[in-house]
Chain A
Amino acid sequence: MNGTATPEPTEASAPTPQPPLDWRFSQVFGERGAGEDVQDVDIISAIEFNKTGHHLATGDRGGRVVLFERTDAKDHVSRKEAEKADYSISRHPEFRYKTEFQSHEPEFDYLKSLEIEEKINKIKWCQETNGASFLLSTNDKTIKFWKVQEKKVKKICEMNMNTSNAHVNGGPSTHVPNGGILKPGGLALLRMPVVVTSQETSLAANCRRVYAHAHDYHINSISNNSDGETFISADDLRINLWNLEISNQSFNIVDVKPTNMEDLTEVITSAEFHPSHCNTLAYSSSKGSIRLVDLRQSALCDTHSKLFEQHESAGSRSFFTEIIASISDIKFSMDGRHILSRDYMTLKLWDVNMDSGPVATFQVHEYLRPKLCDLYENDSIFDKFECCQSGDGLRVATGSYSNIFRVFNCGAGDSEVTTLEATRNPTRRQAQNPARPVRSMTRNVRRENTGIDANGNSYDLSTKLLHLAWHPAENLIACAAANSLYMYYG
């Protein structure tokens, strides 16, 4: 939608109200060389754009957070000049590596005899202030609040007690500070340290607060409130409410732990605040339901104000029904009107005003349905795929196996579906399809209107695309394939 989506000759007749997006490769960070092994610690485990989309953060299994910033938006002048020089130059968001820091370290809980991994589970950006970025990062147990700021390098070049210690010895000083005139008498010799600011800058990440010891189970989500002062953290059984400024106290607002753990049938899988209503939050469960909670009603939100769930018809129930119903991720749309949810097989879009059923359901990888038994055997069925929605709310995306992700158009009656592979050439696999002319591979993205498997049976369960994020304002998707961060624009 940057004016780059030139109509595609081969698909010009697509019956969609908006032109379908032509997805292209934009950038890759940490690309894996041929034959290079991926280190487990380098695998990306979280991706998040900030509110404006000028910054992007990724977290990995090694507890590091890497920050990227947009290049084109920052260099206003050069871009304008570039546009003047060649108006047709295509502009799409580009990012550059900004900095990285070690957010979490492996720990050991001696009381419970538990290892705590350093893996970053989620990152959330907070309100920017004074030119510094702020973000929350969490592993299984501990949330940290980071400030990342660019500082001009300063050097102290004159001191009272430095090398020429003439004044201390009492001898007349030959060295005149600041070019001023040295008056007789000791007092005049006292001077303030002179600090010289150089043009060099350095980026420093400081941990401002640590919110620890509030979760007995693994934290799966964190989410900021629109009030700018609170956030929630959710684990398998509880959701806690924190004030950003107070790290030694949190309030438990949702607790689904049964008195007897043997009665446990459902766990919390994801939780998110409404983008603008400070009193509304949604959380999803392993049974496939989404609950909307109104924080105004009571201090302990054990009762939901709305419940969204879809029951499988009795006939199609199988052993796997409950497992694949488990929701791995939910996201509010930017306007807060819709909630997007991802379960193992589908992506569902819910209208918060309609709890009878989803307004749209998208099949992500229907060709795997016959294979559920194998997927269960090798635990793939428990993979937690994330989902995301474009800022304009028109499209949704989620990942699958073989490092592919799919973008769906959610306009009514529209069946625009794009399958992309996280490589430099997102359409490579489709191009291998002999029905397609090889020549089109550089330009075309295969678009399907049917729900059949695009790639035959050649899916690879070891390469799964779990994490992805949509730029808040533009059609740009950042996604993680193992240790590499790929970006595509449309």
Chain B
Amino acid sequence: MAMVDEPLYPIAVLIDELKNEDIQLRLNSIRRLSTIARALGEERTRKELIPFLSENNDDEDEVLLAMAEELGVFIPYVGGVEHAHVLLPPLETLSTVEETCVRDKAVESLCRIGAQMKENDIVDFFIPVVKRLASGEWFTARVSSCGLFHIAYPSATDPLKTELRTIYGQLCQDDMPMVRRAAASNLGKFAATVEQSHLKTEIMSIFDDLTQDDQDSVRLLAVEGCAALGKLLEPQDCVAHILPVIVNFSQDKSWRVRYMVANQLYELCEAVGPEPTRADLVPAYVRLLRDNEAEVRIAAAGKVTKFCRILSPQLAIQHILPCVKELSSDSSQHVRSALASVIMGMAPVLGKDATIAELLPIFLSLLKDEFPDVRLNIISKLDQVNQVIGIDLLSQSLLPAIVELAEDRHWRVRLAIIEYIPLLASQLGVGFFDDKLGALCMQWLEDKVFSIREAAANNLKRLAEEFGPEWAMQHIIPQVLEKINNPHYLYRMTILQAISLLAPVMGADITCQKLLPVVINSSKDRVPNIKFNVAKVLQSLVPILDQSVVDKTVKPCLVELSEDPDVDVRYYANQALQACDQIMMSS
């Protein structure tokens, strides 16, 4: 008979909470569905838990989403692959709800289960699900069905295959644009499972219909299909069927369609091969680079490097480079910015001579751009060009650009350039850095904006890592320590922060000799905020310092602070003292 079911108690609660009023508890139960299933055993999971879930699917989206996800990995709990089909009904209902993310997850789980099911189970259970969804009354069901065909098709019998292809064709002509969009975006996956002979006939005619859809939103998804289908077809078929479509799309009335082409074109080039690329796609790409719509030019400009990589340098120089020149003085700053972020990548493609002759002037003009993002994008990719032509040719123009950005009135721009300083330092070398940039790095420590001061302190640490402690001892430490006498306490605080960051890089000796005295001195500061920051910094220094130093210098200072009139200072001093003791204990 039943005993004291201590281990069952939590399970019982978990089961009850599937229907709790609190959504967090329901969510928790659903997330632990596998625990419930293990407790119930495979048979009761199949006969009770799964039917229960099928019936109780009018919950909040969050719960449904979790349910859809859990069911996708539930095969082991229902008794293995031969029972996998019991999971289909709840997922079928979930793939009809109106919330897209729930439907998508349900379809994903259905696919995951279907991929493991045996061939005859697919025919008996999975395909009927696909057919029911595809003929669903509401568009949500039909949308979901589109994502299941590629799982169902390979296991289907020949008559069923014909039926599935027909159904897919109907979905592509559905009244609802949502369904046609789903069919268009899943066409590539489905086509990959269809036999060559049908591919060329039925699938291509479905595809043709989609490419002529009234709805821009459908046509632009068909663009994606171009690349996917192109890769499935034999090269000559691809050239015959796909190429004209791409060329047409690249001149579509709708800028959104052209935008998609601009984004996808280099992939399409891979699909059609080198010869048609040269003859048809290069002209198409050139048109897109010169498109009327800035958004299209942005997309095209962003792909310029990737596109050039699949062309010969000669073609790139002949056709693409003139456009790049135009784009570097485009009226839209966003186009120039997109170009600046990729143009450095063209240097390795073009080789040293062409880079110096053709690209360098473009780099230089972009470095002088009035829009800071453009300049930043060039600077951020400096390493790429450095590999090809060396930094010398650029450095002269680089410095004014960096100085200007460093003093830009927008703090976010200043922040961005600080982040690139270590990269620049490594590319430009110590000599150049000392001459030109060192002063800037110190200047940022006294910026009006906290984020800049914070980044400046971090930057010093990264520079010290890059050039080593000896260099830092000469070029950073003295200057930093000097600033501890700044009359404003916020700037003094930045210096304390810099010290705590630099200490681990500099090592015990320098910390002890140079940094620690400054910190200890600051404990006499008149501002409590400085004092409790001293306590925090000391705490961070303890692991680096020798035990003797801690006992002789750090602790007395902390003890003094722990008797400070200010409550916060006392608090942090005590915290630091405790940390000292703990470290002592452990060592």
Contact = CB atoms under 8 A, between A and B. Distances in A.
Interface of A: 127-132, 134, 147, 151, 154, 156, 159-161, 167-173, 184-193, 195, 226-229, 245, 276-279, 295-299
Contacts of B98: 129-130, 132, 134, 147
B8 A229 contact: no
Among the interface residues B48, B176, B177, which one has the most CB atoms of the partner chain A within 10 A?
A: B177
B215 A129 contact: no
A129 B139 contact: yes
B104 to A, nearest CB: 11
B254 interface: yes
Contact of A191 (B48, B97, B255): B48
A161 B12 contact: yes
A151 B58 CA distance: 9
Contact of A296 (B12, B39, B256): B256
Interface stretch (B64-72, B287-295, B505-513, B528-536): B287-295
Given A130-B138, A193-B52, 14 more contacts: A127-B176, A130-B96, A154-B58, A161-B12, A168-B5, A170-B2, A187-B39, A190-B12, A190-B40, A191-B15, A226-B177, A227-B216, A277-B214, A279-B254
A132 B2 CA distance: 46
B325 to A, nearest CB: 24
B279 interface: no
Contacts of B357: none
Contacts of A186: 2-3, 5, 8
Interface in B19-75: 19, 39-41, 48-49, 52, 55-56, 58
B544 interface: no
Contacts of A195: 19, 55-56
Interface in B113-156: 138-140
B215 A278 contact: yes
B34 to A, nearest CB: 15
A351 B100 CA distance: 39
Nearest to B217: A227
A166 to B, nearest CB: 8
Contacts of A134: 98
Contacts of A173: 2
B77 to A, nearest CB: 15
Interface string B197-212: 0000000000000000
6 contacts: A127-B176, A129-B140, A168-B12, A172-B2, A193-B18, A276-B214
Contacts of A296: 216, 252-256
| B: contact size bracket | 35 or more
Contacts of B8: 186-187, 189-190
A297 B255 contact: yes
B2 A167 contact: yes
Given A172-B1, A296-B255, A227 B177 contact: yes
Shortest 10 CB-CB contacts between residues of A and residues of B: A186-B5, A296-B254, A160-B12, A170-B4, A192-B52, A193-B19, A129-B98, A299-B295, A159-B16, A227-B217
B255 A161 contact: no
Contact of B178 (A151, A168, A228, A277): A228
B295 to A, nearest CB: 5
A172 B52 CA distance: 25
A467 to B, nearest CB: 29
Nearest to A170: B4
Contacts of B49: 192
A128 B140 CA distance: 10
A291 to B, nearest CB: 19
Contacts of B139: 127, 129, 228
A154 B1 CA distance: 33
Interface of B: 1-5, 8-9, 11-13, 15-16, 18-19, 39-41, 48-49, 52, 55-56, 58, 96-98, 100, 138-140, 176-178, 181, 214-217, 252-256, 292-295
Nearest to A151: B58
Contacts of B41: 187
Contacts of B55: 195
Contacts of B214: 276-278
A227 B177 CA distance: 6
A154 B57 CA distance: 12
Contacts of B4: 169-170
Contacts of A226: 177, 215
Nearest to B291: A298
A162 B40 CA distance: 19
Given A130-B98, A298-B255, A160 B13 contact: yes
A169 B8 CA distance: 12
B5 A170 contact: yes
A299 B138 contact: no
A298 B292 contact: yes
Nearest to B48: A192
Query: Which of B16, B18, B216 lies at the interface centre, i.e. has the most chain A CB atoms within 10 A of its CB?
Result: B16
B221 to A, nearest CB: 11
B3 A170 contact: yes
A299 B18 CA distance: 48
A252 to B, nearest CB: 13
Contacts of A151: 58
B253 A130 contact: no
A306 to B, nearest CB: 15
Contacts of B178: 127, 228-229
A193 B256 CA distance: 51
B13 A161 contact: yes
Contacts of A132: 98
Contacts of A229: 177-178, 181, 217
B97 to A, nearest CB: 7
Contacts of A169: 4
Given A184-B2, A278-B216, A299 B293 contact: yes
B17 to A, nearest CB: 9
A297 B252 CA distance: 10
A64 B294 CA distance: 43
B11 A171 contact: no
A30 to B, nearest CB: 31
Contact of A227 (B5, B96, B215): B215
Contacts of A276: 214
B177 A228 contact: yes
Contacts of A278: 177, 214-217
Nearest to B98: A129
Nearest to A193: B19
Contacts of A172: 1-2
Contacts of B253: 296-297
A193 B56 CA distance: 10
A155 to B, nearest CB: 10
B56 A228 contact: no
Given A168-B12, A190-B12, A228-B178, A299 B215 contact: no
